[in-house]
A and B are shown apart, each in its own frame.
Chain A
Amino acid sequence: MKHTIFPDSKGYFGQYGGRFVPELLMSALRELEQTYLSLKDDSSFCAEISRLNATYIGRPTPLYCASRLSEYIGGGKIYLKREDLCHTGAHKINNAIGQILLALRMKKKRIVAETGAGQHGVATATVAAKFGVECHIYMGTEDIRRQSLNVFRMQLLGTKVIGVESGSKTLKDAINEALRDWVTNVKTTHYILGSVCGPHPFPMIVRDFQSVIGRETRQQVLDCEGRLPDLLVACVGGGSNSIGLFYPFLNDTEVKMIGVEAGGFGIHTGKHAARFAGGKIGVFQGAKTFVLQNPQGQIQETHSVSAGLDYSAIGPEHSFLHETDRCKYVSVTDDEALQAFLLLSELEGIIPALESAHAVAYLLKNPPPKGTVTVVNLSGRGDKDVLEVQRLLNEKKGKNV
């Protein structure tokens, strides 16, 4: 099956996706879709993105052979795709740059966005500053607490950060509030959604802007190894860094792909964000996809040590790739991610984001066979997480005494 022909004209990846939104947003989504489709192959638009990728984001990001990590794990060769070296410290800027250019073409004067870990918020605040556009970011107050450094960064960039007190006070609630803002100010405002979730055309647009990760990786692996990798591994919250890495390889059937969800305290505890292990198909925040919910269809709260993975739904294209078995989805726990965070820091001198540490943790549990080539998407750097990790380590020490 050719996986790269999706979404269809209605925004579906197989049975997943679509555009389940209040009537007030329909015209804005259609305008966004038409603008994007008219520009995506436009040579001046593509040239502008390439120029900003090179001069502002710092692309291409390196593909780094993590030899001490590979040796420690004792299997095949592990490469890290260094998205943590992007300007602002994570892959989120790839999409933010693309979408602000769309917003400017649509003559929108104001930007809103949601953020979980704060990485998408910082990326959006950054491009808003660069292009001189007013920007409001919605963030759950629980996330504001655990990612306080990113809150201050956004403020330094001239963005107003608005705390969201409703629900679980995390990413899903921030998305609700950003959508409410967009519904109210839709004539003047563009919503820069940060992941491959939400209503069509967002899952397509965000994927396309993030696919630069996989396109570069493909060329870089061919250059170093003379062949394609055997395995790609990436963490999956909404799913933007993983689809960005996976998408350009989807038709290469010999390349296996693993998406790592947040197992939180463990699937059996119910406190996690593993949508495929604990969820079922539903309609949430604009798309039909796998959602953690109760039997009555109320959305369940999630838990993860990593704010960026702490989300009840998964991007619809991942549901499709799961259904067709093109990609496998697994989960690792908070503790396993924390161990990987410490290990990568010590072995490679790279402090990963807690989100990306989930992908590394999978390899610690499942060493790739000798002679194989694996690429892990190191989607973000861990500076934002050091205070939270310090707190967690102290908490653990306290328990051990």
Chain B
Amino acid sequence: MSRIVEIFNSLKVKNRKGFIAYITAGDPTLEFTENLIQELSCIGVDILEIGVPFSDPLADGPVIQEAVERALEHNTSISHIFEIIKRVRKTNKIPLVLFTYLNPVFQYGIENFAKDASDAGIDGVLILDLPPEESLEIYPVIMRNNLDMIFIVSPTTENSRLDEIVRLSTGFIYYVSHTGVTGEQSNIDSEIKKNVNFIKSKTEKPVAIGFGVSNPEQVKQVSGYGDAVVVGSAIVRRIKEYRNDPLGPKKVANFVNDLLKPLR
């Protein structure tokens, strides 16, 4: 059983909702990222999504675009990310999902990528610009290397495609809660509950809800609809704020701790 499946099982037993944090690897430095992974794990984040920086992040809003620019200033690559994950894994069991666009993976080589990710201790992969229709070659390689492959369902996903996405997705299903790029939203879409219920009527797999969640009230509200909440841009904005602070990772973790409280 994968670490991701395990964590959702144990959350279920404890009758708790999961908290998933997104950070961009190498923002502002790899060392900062490594420390931040440790800090976020200490305060009880359930799953971490590690973003692979890509020069043209077309599904991301301005906050993550800037993070990617900071990470690419010093050429953060997939190999660098695997190195820090290997070190983290010596002491830490937090489930890790690599959140990436396809081209960096494609250039690394699909077979090598899946093998090295698995060896480094990555648990799952979410490729933003890879819908199930295009994943025929990649999917079996990811599965063979014992990684979970997470697919996205959005408010515009047609019912005719939903069954296939739900069937292929392992670990959890990522529900994007609003139409748009990543970023914080002042109003959370009222249709979330209805759509997530519809997904849950099709599958036992956990559903995580993300895109736009930014404060403890929203965490509380959204977590009621699914099995876990994803927060990205709100955290990345704090990373920017504390990027030159020697205690940066700790201060970002303090912010995340406040987001976590409604779930405890």
B150 to chain A, nearest CB (A): 11
Max chain A C-beta neighbours (<10 A), residue from B58, B105, B107, B156: B58
A291 to B106, CA, bound (A): 12
- Contact for B102 among A26, A27, A184, A283, CB less than 8 A: A283
B30 at the interface (CB under 8 A from A): no
A167 x B75 contact (CB < 8 A): no
B-contacting residues, A250-307, CB 8 Å: 282-286, 291, 293, 295-299
Cβ contact of A26, chosen from B106, B131, B180, cutoff 8 A:
B131
Q: Which of A30, A286, A293 is the one whose CB lies under 8 Å from B129?
A: A286
Our pick among A19, A23, A183 for the contact of B157 (Cβ within 8 Å) is A23
CB within 8 A of B179: which of A184, A284, A291, A295? A184
CB of A55 to closest CB in B, whole Å: 37
Contacts of B56 in A (CB 8 A): 167, 172-173, 176, 284-285, 299
Complex CA–CA separation, A283 to B129 (angstroms)? 9
Chain A residue at smallest Cβ distance from B180: A184
CA distance A236 to B57 in the complex (A): 25
Contacting pair A296 B158 (CB below 8 A): no
- Distance of A34 from chain B, by nearest CB (Å): 11
Question: Are A22 and B134 CB-contacts (below 8 A) given A183-B181, A184-B180, A284-B103?
Answer: no
Contact B106 A297 (CB under 8 A): yes
Cβ–Cβ contact B77 & A23, under 8 A: no
Q: When A23-B151, A30-B158 are in contact, do A179 and B179 touch as well, CB less than 8 Å?
A: no
Could you mark each residue 186-212 of chain B with 1 if its beta carbon is under 8 Å from any beta carbon of chain A, else 0?
Answer: 000000000000000000000000000
Most buried by A among B103, B108, B133, B154: B103
Q: Is the CB of B156 within 8 A of A19?
A: no
Q: By the criterion of a CB under 8 Å from any partner CB, how many residues of chain A are at the interface?
A: 36
Look across to chain A and name the residue whose beta carbon is closest to the beta carbon of B79: A296
> Given the interface contacts A23-B154, A283-B102, does A183 sit within 8 Å of B129 by beta carbon?
no
Contact across chains for A296 and B151 when beta carbons are under 8 A apart: no
The reply on B143 being an interface residue by CB < 8 A is no
Specify which chain A residues have a CB less than 8 angstroms from the CB of B133 in the assembled complex. 10, 19, 26
Q: How many A-B residue pairs have CB under 8 A?
A: 108
Nearest neighbor of B128 in chain A, beta-carbon distance = A22
Residue B78 lies at the interface, judged by CB distance under 8 Å to chain A: yes
Q: Which chain A positions have C-beta within 8 A of B180? A: 24, 180, 183-184
CB pair B103–A299 under 8 Å, yes or no, is yes
Cβ contact within 8 Å between B107 and A167: no
Interface membership of chain A positions 182-196, coded 1 if the CB is closer than 8 angstroms to chain B and 0 otherwise? 011111000000000
Contact B156 A27 (CB under 8 A): yes
B239 lies within 8 A of chain A by Cβ: no
Chain B residues lying within 8 Å of A20, measured Cβ to Cβ, are: 102, 129-131, 134
When distances are taken between beta carbons in the complex, the residues of chain B under 8 Å from A298 are: 54-55, 72, 104
A297 touches B161 (CB 8 A): no
A166 in contact (CB, < 8 A) = yes
Contact between chains at B102 and A183 (CB < 8 Å): no
B107: A residues at CB distance < 8 A: 282, 293, 295-297
Which residue of A27, A172, A186, A282 is within 8 Å of B106 (Cβ)?
Answer: A282
CB nearest neighbor in A for B72: A298
Residues from chain A with a CB closer than 8 A to the CB of B128 are 22
Residues of the B chain whose Cβ atoms lie less than 8 Å from the Cβ of A180: 58-59, 61, 180-181
B144 to chain A, nearest CB (A): 21
A-facing mask of B73-88, CB < 8 A → 1, else 0? 0010110000000000
Binding site for A on B (CB under 8 A): 54-59, 61, 65, 72, 75, 77-78, 102-108, 128-131, 133-134, 151-154, 156-158, 161, 165, 176, 179-181
Which 6 pairs of residues, A with B, have the shortest CB-CB distance? Answer: A297-B107, A184-B180, A297-B104, A23-B152, A297-B103, A298-B55
Extra A-B contacts (11), CB below 8 Å, given A23-B176, A179-B58, A297-B105: A24-B152, A26-B158, A166-B65, A167-B56, A183-B179, A185-B179, A186-B179, A282-B106, A285-B56, A297-B54, A297-B106
List 5 A–B pairs whose Cβ atoms lie within 8 Å, in order of A's numbering: A20-B130, A24-B179, A180-B58, A293-B107, A295-B107
